[in-house]
Amino acid sequence: MAGLTEPVTARPVPGTVEVDAPGIHLAIHGLGKSFGATRALDAVSVDILAGRVHALVGENGAGKSTLGKIIAGVYQQDQGELVLRGQPVAFHSPRAALDRGIALVAQEVALVPRLTVAENIVLGAEPRRASFIDRRGTKATFERLVAETGFDLQADDRVDRLPVAKQQQVEILRALARSADLVVLDEPTAALSAREVDQLHRIVRTLARSGRTVVLVSHFLREVLELADTVTVLRDGRVVRTDPTADETEASLIAAMLGRSIGRAYPGKRLPPEDAATVLDIRDVAAPGVATATLSVRAGEIVGLAGLIGAGRSELVRAIYGAVPSSGGSITIGEGAGPATPRAAVRAGVAMIPESRKDQGLMLRRPVRENVSLTALPDMSRLGLVDRGQERRAVRTSLERTAGTTATELPAAALSGGNQQKLLFARALLTRPRLLIADEPTRGVDIGAKRDLYELLAELAGSGVGVLLISNEMEEILGLAHRVVVMRGGSVVGELAGEGMTEGAILAAMFGSESAA
């Protein structure tokens, strides 16, 4: 990437300075933004210093992503102004912001599915010879960026055939290909494995060393404390404070985000009885993306399923749920054979929280009520007609238990990410499952909502439900699971419990090494 090794020319001390002082890349003054009756940002003012990593943190709905999107031209503010290197600017589109050196890498990728990786990276800025696209130039740009970042991507792979983590990498390379000197990263590591997170962190540090500026929107407070020079905490659309990260801790950030301190992140573990029945037993199962897998889950037990992205975890649970056919081995739910379809899985007592609530879980334009009752409708119907009164009562009861709300007629899209995730839990509870499969159940939610979901998982296990938990957050696996099963290359390669269930041991199994190093 051109210029990545250039010396940093300005390294001011973090803090509030005058608008025309050297070192300010972007000054934000009195920014306001509303969506209908919802006030997303209220009089937000903050200085983003050049060559620094500036983090924005807050709960879902605090306004951090909205602020990042205004900076990148996705949204336009209702009040206030942006001052870019001393000049007032108004961006009416992401292209206008990009023309001034500002690029956004959003949490939800925005790529052209049928184009190749290399074509997406140069899209809109293709190298040309005369009036024709220079294919060699495109490939050369791709090869240079991949060599500098260390991303494992192939130029000719079609984007729609890549997992989410790889698509995120393409987004990052696309921003870097445009020589952006201010990059907004909105939850960039939410879908990345531990190794890919490390790669991204190296890129962020390199960008800052070269004098470029990074605005990092993240729920991961450890990531913020590790990467950022400065952190701005938002709550209810307002700035709580902006401080050097050296002056902050996870506890202080959480207290600022929530307006209160929060207790221990994970609820206490209650071991299931020794004679607890087995609710899931799979033996030598093969399926698309799964070579061979054997594991079991007992009633009241949380079993963590760990592995790198692409290890086959999501593919395995889809086979258990009947979403894809297995081609070998056996799946037993309770005392019955494994389900052939998701509908049969629900009847057998299996509920599933899918990996992506937006793509696989929710009908965002439909009311909360319809989203929650979806899989339980057969139990609320007579002669093909839904008993609406029974539906409303059941949904309200489930929502009160999981989400603390009874707003059943709002569209799901109107809720924060954390509350959308709770709808999936409310739906699962309606079917009274014996086994809950939770695939990344806390992805993209804030620390307060995470704590609520952890309590829900522990409560379900305490009531005798078996839980099979997939998470890319090692701390989450260790904090919740009674046992950990590790997958690598489509196969189950290890099982850990008790004192042997350590981060080092899990990483060693994930990477196939003798030690975590």
Q: Summarize pLDDT for 409-436 with one digit per residue, the tens.
A: 778 777 777 778 888 888 888 888 999 9
Note the pLDDT of residue 458: 93
State how far the Cα of 487 lies from the Cα of 304, in Å rounded to an integer.
11
Position 257 pLDDT exceeds 50: yes
Residue (of 239, 196, 244, 189) closest to 219 by Cα position: 189
* Cβ-contact 317, 290 below 8 angstroms: no
Q: Which whole number is the average pLDDT over 193-197?
A: 71
Across the beta sheet with 290-298, the strand order is: 336-337, 328-333, 278-287, 290-298, 491-497, 483-488, 302-306, 466-470, 435-439, 350-353
Give phi and psi for 108, each to the nearest 5: -100, 115
Residue type (1 letter), 363: M
- Is the sign of the CA dihedral 30, 235, 24, 106 positive or negative? negative
Note the pLDDT of residue 150: 73
Q: Do 425 and 447 belong to one domain? A: no
3-state SS string over 395-434?
A: HHHHHHHHCCCCCCCCEHHHCCHHHHHHHHHHHHHHCCCC
Q: Do 414 and 484 belong to one domain? A: no
pTM of the model: 0.61
Q: Which whole number is the average pLDDT over 215-238?
A: 91
pLDDT band, residue 7 (cuts 50/70/90): very low
Which of 258, 287, 304 marks a domain boundary?
A: 258
Q: Do 250 and 367 belong to one domain? A: no
Which of 412, 431, 450 marks a domain boundary?
A: 431
For residue 11, being part of any structural domain is answered with no
Q: Do 216 and 104 belong to one domain? A: yes
For residue 10, being part of any structural domain is answered with no
Q: Do 419 and 441 belong to one domain? A: no
State how far the Cα of 66 lies from the Cα of 76, in Å rounded to an integer.
10
Q: Poorest-confidence range of 10-19, 61-70, 252-261, 264-273?
A: 10-19
Q: Summarize pLDDT for 378-391 with one digit per residue, the tens.
A: 777 777 787 787 77
Q: Do 389 and 448 belong to one domain? A: no
Non-local CB neighbours of 451 within 8 Å, separated by 6+ positions? 262, 265
Q: Summarize pLDDT for 349-379 with one digit per residue, the tens.
A: 999 888 777 777 677 788 888 778 887 777 7
For residue 293, being part of any structural domain is answered with yes
Note the pLDDT of residue 261: 61
3-state SS string over 240-269?
A: EEEEEHHHCCHHHHHHHHHCCCCCCCCCCC
Residue type (1 letter), 290: V
Non-local CB neighbours of 38 within 8 Å, separated by 6+ positions? none
Q: Do 427 and 447 belong to one domain? A: no
Per-residue tokens: 17: 């300075």
For residue 187, being part of any structural domain is answered with yes
For residue 121, being part of any structural domain is answered with no
CB atoms within 10 A of CB 343: 12
For residue 299, being part of any structural domain is answered with yes
Residue type (1 letter), 17: V
Number of domains observed in the structure of the chain: 3
Which of 431, 452, 467 marks a domain boundary?
A: 431
Q: Is 308 helix (H, G, I), strand (E, B) or coil?
A: coil
For residue 216, being part of any structural domain is answered with yes
- Please state, in angstroms and as integers, the Cα–Cα distance from residue 220 to each residue in 126, 171, 237, 489, following that order: 35, 20, 19, 27
Q: Do 337 and 444 belong to one domain? A: yes
Q: Do 339 and 452 belong to one domain? A: yes
Position 289 pLDDT exceeds 70: yes
Note the pLDDT of residue 517: 38
- Please state, in angstroms and as integers, the Cα–Cα distance from residue 131 to each residue in 126, 127, 128, 294, following that order: 11, 10, 6, 57
Q: Do 313 and 455 belong to one domain? A: yes
- Note down the domain range covering 324: 276-349+433-508
Non-local CB neighbours of 453 within 8 Å, separated by 6+ positions? 418, 421, 422, 425, 441, 442, 445
Q: Which whole number is the average pLDDT over 278-287?
A: 94
Q: Do 229 and 80 belong to one domain? A: yes
Residue 333 β-bridge partners: 280, 336
- Angle in degrees, CA 248, 251, 254, rounded to 5: 95
Q: Do 441 and 423 belong to one domain? A: no
Which CATH number fits the domain that encloses residue 480? 3.40.50.300
For residue 217, being part of any structural domain is answered with yes
